């Protein structure tokens, strides 16, 4: 067993782990030794010695059913908590049918893991991000009344897909959290009917996700803006680098600027697509309209696709000095992107339909002529791909 680097297991609804009988017995004996350190048995001492020699084991789920072992190897059950007896466990990938209820004492072993992936729920699968070193994926569950704070204490990525009760779960985070979740860098919420609006004045007074770098929102039926989430969790987005929003049919704008958020200093990438009601990227409070600095001073990449009502990206005189890649497809009402004469100094590529490019209302003809070398008609790519199939 010590020479086996990967062990496969899964966890059914009863929150037990199906393991080969030999390993399950070792875990149980080690647990007993912990509980009675004064008089450990010879067998439990051997179990602890064996576990202490295991430097790296990956518990990897391959199926949602209990694994089948051939030959004379039997299956036994052990609790999820007993995995903590693997004191040198570094990598864990496991599937759970529901969220375990663990105390702070029972999660110390999780905090020591170098890498982990928890797939929780009957339909949980991989939605990769750049911060998957310690990822929690929850899918197909009702989160009302669930506490996920212990999961977020050391997670770098959280994926919530097709879950009910998101508002109630977020309220529990706000009410019961004693601090913020400094390790979380990526948040994905997908396939939800929640509006994410804080209810009953339940909103965080400080940023619960101060180091968040990526925000992905997909198929959010009733979400009208990211500001709903901002208000709920007290987000400031001071380290946010990427915003990706797709198929949010009720979204009217991304973020309201002027109350919680004045600027997004590290935002580098915005990708928005298939949001039928979106008419502006940023909505500004009256006092924010007088703020001289751009809301996204570090923005490099802008991708906008299938946004039929989009008219405005930013304030009339605002510029994005670092913008170097622009991709605009089927955003026919967008006439005034934040291009200036200086944009050509850093611009690498502009892609869009020729008709859109020809109807742009820029500051003057000199701006457009300076950017013309960087413009590539999107229909050329479409025609090329069609020719490949002929």
Residues of the chain with pLDDT under 70: 1-79, 103-105, 126-128, 198-203, 286-292, 380-390
CB 217 within 8 A of CB 240: no
**pTM for this one?**
0.82
Q: How far apart are CA 126 and CA 122, in angstroms?
A: 13
- Residue 79 pairs in a beta bridge with 16
Predicted local confidence at residue 175, as pLDDT: 83
Predicted local confidence at residue 349, as pLDDT: 97
- H helices present in 36-92, as ranges: 42-52
Predicted local confidence at residue 122, as pLDDT: 85
The β-bridge relationship of strands 269-273 and 282-284 is unpaired
Predicted local confidence at residue 189, as pLDDT: 96
Q: Which residue has the tokens 């693997």?
A: 86
Predicted local confidence at residue 258, as pLDDT: 78
Q: How far apart are CA 203 and CA 238, in angstroms?
A: 18
Give me the residue spans of the domains in the chain: 1-90, 91-388
- Residue 216 pairs in a beta bridge with 188, 244
Predicted local confidence at residue 234, as pLDDT: 87
Predicted local confidence at residue 48, as pLDDT: 41
Q: How far apart are CA 261 and CA 51, in angstroms?
A: 50
Predicted local confidence at residue 351, as pLDDT: 96
Give, rounded to a whole angstrom, the gap between the first and last alpha carbons of the chain.
56
Count of CB atoms within 10 A of residue 96's CB? 20
Predicted local confidence at residue 188, as pLDDT: 95
Predicted local confidence at residue 39, as pLDDT: 47
Predicted local confidence at residue 291, as pLDDT: 65
């Amino acid at each position: 067993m010590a020479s086996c680097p990967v062990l496969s297991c899964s966890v059914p609804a009863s929150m037990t782990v199906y393991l080969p009988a030999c390993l399950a017995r070792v875990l149980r004996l080690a647990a007993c030794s912990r509980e009675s350190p004064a008089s450990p048995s010879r067998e439990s001492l051997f179990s602890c010695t064996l576990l202490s020699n295991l430097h790296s084991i990956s518990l990897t789920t391959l199926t949602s059913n209990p694994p089948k072992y051939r030959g004379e190897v039997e299956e036994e059950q052990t609790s999820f908590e007993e995995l903590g007896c693997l004191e040198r466990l570094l990598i864990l990938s496991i599937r759970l049918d529901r969220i375990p209820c663990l105390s702070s004492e029972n999660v110390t072993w999780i905090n020591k893991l170098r890498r982990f992936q928890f797939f929780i729920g009957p339909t949980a699968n991989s939605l990769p991000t750049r911060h998957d070193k310690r990822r929690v994926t929850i899918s197909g569950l009702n989160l009302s009344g669930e506490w996920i704070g212990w999961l977020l204490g050391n997670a770098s990525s959280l994926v919530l897909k097709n879950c009910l009760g998101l508002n109630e779960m977020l309220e529990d985070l706000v009410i019961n959290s004693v601090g913020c979740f400094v390790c979380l860098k990526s948040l994905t919420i997908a396939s939800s009917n929640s509006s994410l609006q804080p209810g009953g004045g339940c909103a965080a007074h400080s940023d619960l996700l101060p180091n968040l770098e990526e925000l992905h929102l997909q198929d959010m039926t009733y979400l009208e803006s990211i500001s709903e989430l901002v208000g709920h969790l007290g987000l400031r987005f001071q380290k946010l680098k990427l915003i990706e929003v797709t198929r949010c049919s009720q979204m009217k704008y991304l973020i309201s600027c002027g109350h919680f958020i004045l600027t997004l200093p590290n935002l580098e990438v915005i990708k928005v697509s298939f949001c039928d009601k979106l008419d502006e990227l940023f909505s500004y409070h009256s006092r924010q309209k007088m703020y001289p600095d751009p809301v996204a001073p570090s923005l490099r990449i802008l991708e906008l696709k299938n946004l039929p009502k989009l008219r405005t990206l930013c304030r009339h005189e605002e510029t994005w000095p670092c913008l170097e890649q622009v991709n605009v497809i089927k955003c026919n009402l967008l006439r005034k992107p934040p291009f200036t004469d200086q944009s050509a100094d850093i611009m690498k590529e502009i892609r869009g339909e020729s008709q859109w490019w020809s109807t742009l209302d820029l500051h003057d003809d000199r701006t457009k002529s300076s950017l013309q070398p960087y413009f590539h008609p999107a229909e050329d790519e479409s025609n090329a791909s069609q020719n490949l199939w002929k």
